Structure 1
Amino acid sequence: MRLSVLLADDADPDQLLGQPSYIFETSPGNYQIGILLDPEDAETRDRDLIDRVLQHMVAHNMIKADASGNNLVRYGRLPVGSNTKKRSTGTFSLRSLKCDLTHKYSLEDAAAMFGLDLATVRGAPAKPKSDIPKSTSIDHVESFKNLVNPDPAQRSYHDSLLKLSASMVAAGTHPGAVVNLLRSLMLAVKPEDEHEFNRWEQRFGHDLIRMVSTAEKFAPPPRETEPSQFSYKFAELLEATRNIKWLVKGLVPDDSMGMIFGASGTFKSFIALDMAMHIATGADWANKRTKTGPVYYVAAEGGAGIAKRIQAWHEIHGLAEPIDNITICTRPVLLSDENEIKLLRNDIEAMSEKPRLVVIDTLAQTFTGDENSSSDIGDYIRLINSEIRAPFGCSVIIIHHTGHAASERPRGSSAITANLDFILGVFRPDPQAMTARLMVSKQKDGDKAPDALFNLERFVLGRDEDGDELSSLVAKYSDITENALEGFKGTKYTPIIMKHLSEGVATADELVIMAQEIVQEDKAVVRQGIRRGLTALSRAGMINERAGIWGLAKT
């Protein structure tokens, strides 16, 4: 035994979410609606499920329950004969408003036309709604064709509008937008014939609004939105910016875009690699605290050189086992190309842990545009920002060259400076010496840190197959304060002052507070010691003061 037709008595055709098999008007304004069921659907033989479906239809006033409560056996009408009930208008002849017996439906699709979710009826969790509503009858294209049929007499206003409005509202389209769109379509095919115009006008007005209003109950619930991050109250902004998060304290902000630039031969790549290796190992760099994390290094200028540099770095720092917290890309990727940068992003995503730092060495090898074009440079930086920095929440450092005439700034458009959070410049104080000085050229969210000095040490790795020596340079930080104090006769407070000022500027009161934590003496004694130390170091030209703020003298 199976259910062959899902019937509804006295149902409103305007509330259907699809095209039934037939609609018979059994009395004025009363209809019986039937949907032919697919005999191949096993659920049409599930007695318990069918009974629950019919009970739900009873609860929604779509079936008049028998006194016995047994709704399984239904009496179907035929579109012939007359309703003999006495009425002032006389005998009513039954008539067919729609009849298409060519389509068969699953029980699930048939129930959906009446607004019933079969999963809910079963007592199982409902299937998640699709972003595109499931069609339960003819394709939407057919509905549009029927609505705008060139022959006005052949147009199906009611069924087409009902189907389209229900689908659009169920998909989340605003009801007002649905009305406007469908009315625009109807205006495009407005008939001139008076009889057809009357039929068109009836659907154009109240009927369409009623269809859309009825479908609103099937609209998806509004999506919960995340709290807006576009704006802050002042107190929230103050709290958010109170403590800058650093990857390298005072030099490289966390989750930022920056650059290290320098002329050829200033050892900028060696210094960038040294920073990267310290972050990968969790060691302080240039006497500044770092956050430990994976590093992704784009060595676009070649793999052989970077391999020797990393090997030499391991040897000089006494590391027997290779660091596994750094990943090197030796492919010359073009990061100004959307497809290429997505390949790089995919490779970074394959890392077992998100990177803390991504180094791009160099801009020239990963950029195909005009360096002097603010548009080209801006697009390049924005692509890296959106495809690399933002998805991983990491800091990105781009290695770049200086111009031929201007060695104090990066080569190319001023858009480079405008679009970056920090810029570090590398210079050689003495062209004959193997030293380099790192200085802060731009620091958007913090004070400019004092310069840092690096010595370049040569390390012999071995010999190649021809017996030639294999070697590489390694950048090693040289403590400026220790060098400056060598041979200087001061007090126990002078190294404390120099150490603190090497990390940033400070007032005398801040130096007193910091020193008191170290020497554990009476505050008055510490204050006098700091005052004498500041005087001695200032006279020696090692530090200077401006508006009550002390800092290291530029050398």
Structure 2
Amino acid sequence: METNFIETFAGDPWETEICTLSHAFAKREPLNYAVDGLFPLPCLGLVYGHPGTLKSLILADTAMHIAGGLQWLGKAVKKIPVLWVDLDNGKRRTHERFEALARGINLTEEASFYYTSMLPYNAGNSKDTDLLIKRMLSLGIKFLIIDNLGLISPGADENSDAMIAVMSNLRRVAEETGAAVVVVHHQRKSQSARAGETLRGHSSIESAVDLCLLVERDPDSNTINIKSTKSRDVEVYPFAAEFNYDHKEGTNELYRAWFDVVQVEDVSSDRAAELKIMDVVSERPLGNQKIIIEDANRALRVGKNRLRLILGSLVKKGKLKVREGARGAKLYVIE
């Protein structure tokens, strides 16, 4: 009977792919990042926002810095080959932008930066995906950017489960090449209580990715704000950048373009909430939960329910102690 089982399932991938805890405990190389704390290798990420938020430009600037091994907005990068797949801006604009961004950081032609423009790619098609993987492996690509998701899923309703196959193939690209795969996408017009729910399309899109970065920009401003709406790895704190550029003399064409880091006050991350709660308790020792939450909430954009959870977490971590007050009230103190 046992022999028949083996013969029946000869060549079954489950036989070689099932792991045990010996695999989990095996020594692994430390996790590497294309950009420190943002894009682990491998990963599948999305950068999204409304039209005009400069999301493609800021990501192109990221890619240039990675290809050159140059620090990006104060963040360390790993120098690795980059491939940009453009299906949105067209060849002339793509050439112009990359020329200007490269000139902005003095990146030369020798950099391992590759790009295509308007070369069709259907991420829902396994053959197309196999060809992309083959080309990436031949060039050693470890950072892939695709602009944009809607244009690599032709015929698929992005609000349906047809996107599952598209996202699955993109994940396969990341896993088989060891690359960070980052896709540009768009934001819904309607607002939602949770920022991640403004990501346009079927829920399988957000579910499939490791990192979502939302890019926001006020009208007529060259400053953009970036925040994470999903991260499976380390927490990503909000950051900002200012777009700068020069034109070619006598034209409206870009000559040089670059982004400068802008200091931003963090009022929405768990870290910001923890720091604020600790400040409140330090200033008002033996305060009760209501006092602490209300004081912290005035300075943050976190929400009282989340602040209560973070307050409890600080107690569990031993950063705060609880003493019993009148009528069983919980009073908080730093010891």
Matched, 1:315 2:87: no
Q: The residue matched to 2:214 in structure 1 has which SS?
A: strand
Aligned equivalents of 2:165, 2:120: Cα separation in 1? 19
Counterpart of 1:435? 223
For these two proteins, the number of residue pairs brought into alignment is 275
| Equivalent residue for 1:402, pick from 164, 168, 187 | 187
User: Per-residue deviation at 1:303?
Assistant: 1.9
Structure 1, unmatched stretches of 5+, are 1-173, 181-224, 485-497, 509-530, 533-537, 551-555
Is contact 1:244–1:445 with CA below 8 Å preserved after alignment?
A: no
Give 1:480's aligned residue. Answer: 263
- 1:391 paired residue among 172, 176, 196: 176
Tell me, yes or no, if structure 1 residue 333 matches structure 2 residue 121.
Answer: yes
Match of 2:130 among 317, 342, 346: 342
State percent identity of aligned pairs.
22
CA contact (8 A) 2:133 2:177 kept: no
**Structure 2 residue 239 is matched with structure 1 residue 452:** yes
- Distance in 2, matches of 1:286 and 1:178, equals 56
Counterpart AA for 1:263: H
Report the Cα distance in structure 2 between the residues aligned to 1:434 and 1:475, rounded to whole angstroms: 11
Higher RCO (C-alpha 8 Å, min separation 6): 2
Query: Residue 214 of structure 2 is aligned with which of 401, 425, 448?
Result: 425
Whether contact under 8 Å (1:247, 1:254) holds in the other structure is yes
Provide the residue aligned with 1:370 in structure 2: 157
Counterpart amino acid of 1:309?
Answer: R
| In 1, Cα distance between equivalents of 2:240 and 2:157 | 33
The change in CA–CA distance for 1:443 and 1:475 in structure 2 (over 3 A counts) is farther
Query: Which structure 2 residue ranges, 5 or more long, are not aligned?
Result: 9-13, 276-281, 284-295, 320-335
| TM-score, normalisation: structure 2 | 0.70
Give the 3 Å change call, closer, same or farther, for CA 315–226 of structure 1 in structure 2: same
Instruction: Report the secondary structure of 1:247's partner residue.
Output: coil
Larger Rg computed on CA atoms: 1
- CA positional deviation for 1:475: 4.8
- Is this contact kept in 1: 2:66–2:79, CA < 8 A? yes
Matches of 1:178 and 1:418 in 2, distance apart? 36
| Superposition TM-score, scaled by structure 1 size | 0.44
In the aligned structure 2, how far is the partner of 1:178 from the partner of 1:299? Answer: 48
SS at match of 1:333: coil
CA contact (8 A) 2:68 2:107 kept: no
Native 8 Å contact 2:160 2:202 kept in 1:
yes
DSSP 3-state at the match of 2:146: strand
Alignment of 1:200-349 (within 5 A): 230-232=19-21, 236=25, 244-301=31-88, 302-317=90-105, 319=106, 321-330=108-117, 331-349=119-137
Q: Give me the whole-angstrom Cα distance separating, in 1, the residues matched to 2:38 and 2:74.
A: 11
Aligned amino acid, residue 456 of structure 1? F
Q: SS of 1:248's equivalent?
A: coil
Q: Note the C-alpha offset of 1:267.
A: 0.5
Q: Distance in 2 between matches of 1:432 and 1:280?
A: 30
- Deviation digits for residues 2-34 of structure 1, max 9, x if unmatched? xxxxxxxxxxxxxxxxxxxxxxxxxxxxxxxxx
